[in-house]
Structures are given as C-alpha cells and as structure tokens.
Amino acid sequence: MTLRDAAKIIEAEILVGEDLLDQEIGSICGSDMMSEVLAFTNEHSVLLTGLCNTQVMRTADMLDLECLIFIRGKQPTPEMLQMAEDDGRVVMKTRFGMFSTCGKLYQAGAGSGCM
C-alpha cells in the first residue's frame, strides 16, 4: 500500500508532500503518547495521531517517519507544516477518529508490522 492508497481509503486531505505519495508504507502506528511512539515505531513508518502540537513534528523528525496523519480533522499550525516541509515528510488529515482510521487501513491490508 502506498501513501496515496492510504489517503484514498481514509478520505484524507494532503497538507504537505503531494509529490511524495508514491512511497510504500512499511508499518503504521497509532498513538497520542509520543514516548510510546518513540519506543515502538520503526523508521519510514506512518504515525496516526490525535495529538496536534510541535512535539509530534519533533518525534517524527527523531524517528525519520515517512508520514503523519492527523485524525478527527485536527489541523496542524502553519509552523508545524513548515517543519514537515523542511524535513520532506508527508502530512495529511482525515475526519475519521482513531478507531475508524485504523480499521479502514487494517481492513485494506495495511496490517503487517503495525501497532
């Protein structure tokens, strides 16, 4: 599954990185606690989160994550989007909540290596 496929499944709006959507997704992690993400997430993973502050961007930077997906329509600030832009990281948002977002992606086969 590519990021583009995932975006379609969860009806996401792309906020940063339209040109980076052909990357394959390795694994996906869903969490609002950054230390959990730091403990259990591989590089080049996708993070689904309901947390929306600069520490999400920093966590993504530390882990070299490939994409951030903000759930429940959370809108990152321009400053946060700039950080992702600088790091070459895809950012999207979906109106669905954590359970539905995970469920849709899992059902579509994005299960392996995911938390």
Partner 1 sequence: MEDAIVLKYQVIDGEFQRAGEVSSDVKHKLKQMGVPANIVRKVAIAMYEGEVNMVIHANGGEITVEITPEQIKMILADVGPGIPDVEKAMTAGFSTASDATRNLGFGAGMGLPNMKKNTDSLDIETLLGEGTTITMIVKL
Binding site for partner 1 (CB under 8 A): 32-36, 38-39, 43, 51, 53-56, 58-59, 61-64
**Min CB(109)–partner 1 separation in Å:** 28
Minimum CB distance to partner 1 smaller for 6 or for 52:
52
Q: Which amino acid is located at 10 in the chain?
A: I
Sign of CA dihedral 14, 20, 25, 29: negative
CB of 68 to partner 1, least distance (A): 13
d(CA 32, CA 108): 23
Nearer to partner 1, 1 or 115 (CB): 115
Could you give the CA distance from residue 10 to residue 61 in angstroms, rounded to a whole number? 24
Whether 26 contacts 42, CB under 8 Å: yes
In angstroms, give the least distance from the CB of 57 to partner 1.
Answer: 9
